[in-house]
Chains A and B, each alone.
Chain A
Amino acid sequence: MDPTVSMDSHCQAIIQEFRDNLPVFKKVSFEIKDLLEKMISGCGKVHTNLENQLKAKDLTGAGIHVASIESRVKAEESLAGKLERKGNKYKSLADITDIIGLRVITFYIDDVDKVASAIEKLFEIDWENSVDKRKLHQIDSFGYLSLHYICKLQDFPYRFEIQLRTVLQHAWANMDHDTGYKSGVEIPMQYRRAMNRLAGMLELIDDEFSKMRSELTDYRRSVHNLVASGKLDEVPLDGDTFRSYLELKPFDNLNRRIASMNQAEIQSVSLMNYLAIFKGLGCKTLGDIDKIIKKYFEAAYQIACYQLGLTDLDVISASLGPQNLCIAYVLKNDGGKAGVRYLYELINGTSNGSEIWAEMIMDQARDLPFMNK
């Protein structure tokens, strides 16, 4: 049955206005979502069909990594329900502020404020109707924390709502909603207490995640400085430090020397997989890798000479230098065939080929000058 039949003519007119404008709402909803995606997650100059309707003139992406951006146009049944409950409150459809709704879900609590700031620059905000639920809580209460902005485009008569929250606040809001109670006061006391305890815990976790990100940023900055200043023995080997180390291009000299043999082209490849390999060889600091480069530079070159010297191969991978350094290290440290095979498994994953290549290397090793020193 059509839910609007029992409505008065005023509410029916609002519903009709909604139906007439539905295609426009869908289009605008899509365009705002597209704009938010570009302005929040994107970097550089942003282009949009809404350009003339925005407060901001300089549209540059903020480069914030968010969990998701969602949009929806209110369902007619939901609108009808709202009008049934409080139809007299609305003179026209334009008085309803959430016909178009968007939600930005961030990973970190401090990103909520960054996204909010981007939205404030982008749209006219209807401050009277916008709510920062984070500020509504008493100091002794917890609950659903979220920021709701009611926004306006310059030549569009309908306002729209943007909700901002973290993934944990989103989880809380969904769980809270799932209880079936419309407001906190309806929940039986013992369950309200349990929900508040969970809300408090999630708030604490949100803060801890932000704190951890901030500390990680400081750590990365400090190790980057240590790497740049050459104090490699003081820098523990991990993903961040190895990435910083690779920026110094530590294997370039060796690769260039190898390439010069056949005037070969060096193809750039990611060397991050060598983090696990150097760790597998027992390196604990960047200084340990640096020592391997210095100590086995000549040996790694000899391996390349032996293998490539009589070929006309004139393209090599930038991983050839570290690969040969690791082979030289294993051979000189009595790793034997098992050690070389293990190394190839680290480089290429487990395959039958590792056994064959290990045998080939052991055969070649007998003729390599550095092995006879």
Chain B
Amino acid sequence: MKINTKRQEGIVTAELVGRLDTPASQEVGNDLLVLQNDADKTIILDCTALEYISSSGLRLFLTLRKAASQKGGKVIVKNINDDIRSVFMMTGFLNLFEII
């Protein structure tokens, strides 16, 4: 699992590559949670190359979203595949994120 982050014109984009399962969430959790420092901006989680998300990965997304809502930023989830879309729907978190 890899996270590539880039910052451009007030927007932070984190490209997630691989499977965000429980071990991967522990491995890259800090890399993702460091984005809380940018929670006053727009954070785009680019999931084009994200194959799978577990509850642990979902919790990371939720932590970022909570920080953004407290600091006036927002989290956009981009290009999720159908399986990940189902996870958001089944758990009821779909409307918490702006999904594009």
Contact = CB atoms under 8 A, between A and B. Distances in A.
Same complex: yes
Contacts of B89: 307, 357, 360
Contact of B90 (A311, A314, A319, A356): A311
B95 A315 contact: no
A347 B94 contact: yes
A154 interface: no
B90 A307 contact: yes
Contact of A348 (B62, B86, B90, B95): B95
A225 B62 CA distance: 35
Contacts of B92: 269, 316-321, 323
B85 A356 contact: yes
Contacts of B62: 267, 315
Contact of B96 (A308, A317, A353): A317
Interface in B73-100: 82, 85-87, 89-96, 99
Chain B interface extent, by class: 10 to 19
B87 to A, nearest CB: 7
B55 A315 contact: yes
B90 A313 contact: yes
Chain A interface extent, by class: 20 to 34
Given A356-B82, A356-B85, A308 B58 contact: no
A319 B87 contact: no
Contacts of B54: 312-313
Contacts of B95: 273, 319, 347-349
B87 A313 contact: yes
A229 interface: no
Contacts of A307: 86, 89-90
B71 interface: no
**Chain A binding surface SS class:** mixed
Given A273-B95, A319-B95, A348-B94, A313 B58 contact: yes
B83 to A, nearest CB: 11
Contacts of B86: 307, 360
A351 interface: yes
A216 to B, nearest CB: 28
Nearest to A255: B92
Contacts of B99: 348, 351, 353
A319 B90 CA distance: 11
Nearest to A347: B95
Interface string A292-310: 0000000000001001100
Interface string A317-338: 1111101000000000000000
Interface of A: 264, 267, 269, 273, 304, 307-308, 311-321, 323, 347-349, 351, 353, 356-357, 360
Given A314-B55, A317-B91, A319-B92, 6 more contacts: A313-B87, A315-B58, A315-B91, A320-B92, A348-B94, A360-B86
Interface of B: 54-55, 58-59, 62, 82, 85-87, 89-96, 99
